Amino acid sequence: MKAGKETIKYINKQNILNVFREKNEVTKAEIMGVTKLSAATVSNLIQELMEETLLTEKYYGESSGGRKPMIYSLNGERVRILTVKVTTKGILAGIVNLKGEIIWHKSLPVRIHDEATFRSAMKEAAAQLKEQQRNLMEQISIVAYSIPGVICYSTRSIVYSAALYLENVDLQALSDRLFNKDMEVYVFKDTDALILGEYYGTGKDSRNMVYLLCDQGVGMSVISEGNLLRLTGCGLEIGHTTIDLHGLPCKCSSTGCVGTLLGEKPAAAQYTQIYETIYPETIFDGTTLSYDVLIDRSLEGKDKIASRVMREQIELLSVVVVNTVNLFNPDLVVIGGPVARIPEMAGTVEAWVKKKALKPFTSSISIKAPTLGNHASLYGMAEYVLDKEVFTAVSIRKLTGFLA
């Protein structure tokens, strides 16, 4: 079965677009070199892509003799995606263009602790978007959410979020109502968005990587062979795997889960316990202790209790990373959250992993802190959506099942 002319044309256009995915400014000659298409085909398809406003002429490049080549680029005015990161501390929203550039962002600090506060925060964020970026919002038809919790990708809903105290929230219906139109909705676990930010931000250097988030809880996401691992019904709940059979009860009804020992609340509880043991006549309120406060005290070197607590947190984290490496055999493990601020964290964990994990899995492994800042989630979600919606690499075999 041979592919028809329109199918071949579609494939060629997609493959030309993917050249711009790797390099923003490109000449026709460079496109021909990558795609192996003829000069006439490249010229015709570039013209069509310009008419579709996906590409634009930038400027004339340098010539080694003869006519100067035209430099083409993706049109930054096209394909805008709304990205929304939801945490217990509020909402971070951004608008991303076809080039993967965050052209606008807004932070809405507000405590989110149940469905009412979540819906109220989203309503306020949508109102600010419409007020401040009305023209851009009229062009947006895609929204992507980052949520801490269990996600149903097919129904675009939050199944359960222990952090936000949410259950069965339909994000598709919420989005359509907030923005008064049918929206294409993508939903990501918080660590999904973070790992995608690292993956795209580092040029896809590691096709097998794990992201571990150690903050108020412990979360994990995996990229395997360049693909985000998205299991039906979610999964990969590393924070609810047992690390101590006789440990503390967890809110998931099990005991000794990773999340009962590793994270902000366990660290604060341990600090309080040690403090009250040393100073039994003193009542200490540990509820004010955050991970950042403990880390600051540890780094200053004046608080021996904080130093001990954070040292033991890194040891526990190392055990979790060893288990993760033995399960997934990644090339790279990125550890995010406040612990990433500790300068020796990555080196300490990597040394532990190379000592304790299976030897065949440790020869080329790398452990590091995140390379991107607070906007990593916005960037990662947008890049994933662009790959799905615009930069779809295709072949005749993929479309027809046969070679033409």
* Global confidence as pTM: 0.88
Say yes or no to pLDDT of 202 above 80.
no
Per-residue pLDDT tens for 65-118?
778 889 999 988 877 899 999 999 999 999 999 888 999 999 999 999 999 999
Say yes or no to pLDDT of 189 above 70.
yes
Domains and CATH numbers, the chain: 5-75 (1.10.10.10), 79-182+376-389 (3.30.420.40), 204-370 (3.30.420.40)
Contacts of 146 (CB under 8 A, 6+ apart): 83, 84, 85, 86, 188, 189, 190, 192, 193, 194, 377, 381
Per-residue pLDDT tens for 210-254?
999 999 889 999 999 999 998 876 778 898 899 889 889 888 888
Cα separation, 59 vs 45, in Å, equals 19
Pairing of strands 366-368, 332-336: parallel
Q: How large is the average pLDDT for residues 269-287?
A: 88
Cα separation, 305 vs 346, in Å, equals 22
The model's confidence at residue 389, banded by pLDDT at 50, 70 and 90, is confident
- Please say whether the beta carbons of 372 and 196 come within 8 A: no
